[in-house]
């Protein structure tokens, strides 16, 4: 009750203080902002382009082409058009010979197909070993002495082991290896190793 009695005058004092504070701008003179300085831009002399000499009546001779000729794409087997100094005479076209055929690659034995039953036996053995280690670590732990969080982890290890064994039966070695790794890691944490 004392706190309420002391708080009421304090709140009233604070409220009156906020109401009495005001800006003292009524008596202040208006701000006179000076005008912006004039901007004087000097004209830039635009140089006139140099006059162009008359073009020569004949085109200058081009140097001979020293690069390899590009293959004709989309033009079938027509020779490139070249300007002929003598328009009335035509040179006979040379026949185009096709390139030599490419020999077929040597025969290779057909690729061996692998089924889930013929998967890498080393990987299956490694997964089985991880499952056995996880089960061995769980056998050393007394489930009754674990708290609720560790009991959940224990159950998770059991579930991971079952999933890994099921994946091995289906032939999914990659999934089985991932789940067995999780099971073994969690079992080691539970065992404190």
Helix (H) or strand (E) holding 181: helix 173-191
Domain limits, the chain:
117-191
Note every long-range contact of 105-113, with CB atoms under 8 Å and residues 24 or more positions apart, other chains counting: none
What pLDDT does residue 43 have?
75
What are the two backbone dihedrals, phi and then psi, of residue 157, each rounded to the nearest 5 degrees? Answer: -60, -45
Check: CB of residue 160 under 8 Å from CB of residue 179: yes
pLDDT digits (tens), the chain, 193 positions? 656 566 666 676 666 655 555 555 567 777 888 888 888 877 777 666 677 777 666 655 665 565 666 665 555 555 556 655 555 566 667 777 777 777 776 766 666 655 555 547 888 999 999 999 999 999 999 989 989 999 999 999 999 999 999 999 998 999 999 999 999 999 999 888 6
Which pair of structure tokens corresponds to residue 145?
């002495």
């Amino acid at each position: 009750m004392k706190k309420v009695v002391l708080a009421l005058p304090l709140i009233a004092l604070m409220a009156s203080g906020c109401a009495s504070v005001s800006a003292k701008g009524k008596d202040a003179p208006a701000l006179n902002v000076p005008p912006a300085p004039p901007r004087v831009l000097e004209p830039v002399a635009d140089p006139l382009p140099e006059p162009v000499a008359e073009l020569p009546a004949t085109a200058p001779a081009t140097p001979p082409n020293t690069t390899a000729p590009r293959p004709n794409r989309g033009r079938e087997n027509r020779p490139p058009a070249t300007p002929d100094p003598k328009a009335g005479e035509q040179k006979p076209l040379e026949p185009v010979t096709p390139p030599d055929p490419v020999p077929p690659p040597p025969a290779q034995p057909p690729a061996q197909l692998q089924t889930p039953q013929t998967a890498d036996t080393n990987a299956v053995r490694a997964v089985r070993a991880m499952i056995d280690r996880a089960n061995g670590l769980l056998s050393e732990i007394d489930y009754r002495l674990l708290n609720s969080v560790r009991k959940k982890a224990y159950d998770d290890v059991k579930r991971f082991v079952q999933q890994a064994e099921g994946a091995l039966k289906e032939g999914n070695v990659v999934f089985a290896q991932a789940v067995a790794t999780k099971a073994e890691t969690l079992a080691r944490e539970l065992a404190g190793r």
